[in-house]
Structure 1
């Protein structure tokens, strides 16, 4: 029995398991624990492909499992978080009780992205549009920023339903936008081939260290901006056609 071939899929299922646990914590409005399990799920998501390549056991089953697991951890969970943010938001847009369900537009945008990713041959080395894990971390960080911020402006901004609707719409857009974004997955074990990734990870750690939860959305924004600069100036040293 070849145990190695089951390792990547097992890691993928751990991602799914973490997403399910995160959903329970979101339902209890314990966003800190939800963030932790989404982060843990994304950690597993990062390494399932790594071990699949390492053990040379990549296949169609793993690809499909990966997207299905991501659909929960990075699709349903952030939509559910936005539902609660809209439910508890200020400056009520409408008295319609079902309005907060608009938050699940994020889930639909994530689903479309994950399905398209599986058939898009252009995304083998990098991404086009914001990856669902990055979008999920952004959404999960919002309630934590609200809970931990001493700024009245930040509180008013992130509890305003109009702002939350704009964030929801932009999320669905950026997930599927035709914007090339560099991949964080390490395929070659040399600093030269991963200079951009290492630089970004260093920046991300500094932002989180200094700004804590507020650093998470800054990390995602930095990721998009660095990718745009990379596309224009070839920061990773690769020629751009």
Structure 2
């Protein structure tokens, strides 16, 4: 059978792809923002050296880094709602429960990776940097803002970019709980057209294009930080 890509990208199917890609990008962005916010909180707790808090952060990180993301998605969608009152379950279902649970699961999972990336970036900075800043009369906040954090972000950037790409790719796992993202849509198109190769190749190229764009943006940011640091 001859290849026919037009049959999977035109008309109704083309609109399905656009809608699926939009949901994928929304899910990735929402999960990234949630993950980064939680990651910064985890890093702050680690920096306080408050022992119970440090242990809780370690448990959080260990759980999310060692339990498969797919299992976490299924826990959020199938297990956790069963513990909620029925009225609350119905309320959540009215607000696209599949998307919300996927966003929470991916965001909470990725926060563990981001927090370790940021913490590693901060740990790579010699302690003499803080001591020198304080010797110049800088307070803690100014030292963190002007000296420590810029270097920490620069150190953590490659790892954060890699895990951002991983987060984007992991959005495809949301199809198992019914989120109509790009992978879900491509499978639906394949079922309707029986154009398996064409459908999945278009989806593959979509993921590849966005992943390369993210990596390219990360490279540009890294170059910017290197130039700023060299001044």
TM superposition score normalised by structure 2:
0.32
Of structures 1 and 2, the larger Rg is shown by 2
Structure with bigger RCO (C-alpha 8 Å, 6+ apart): 2
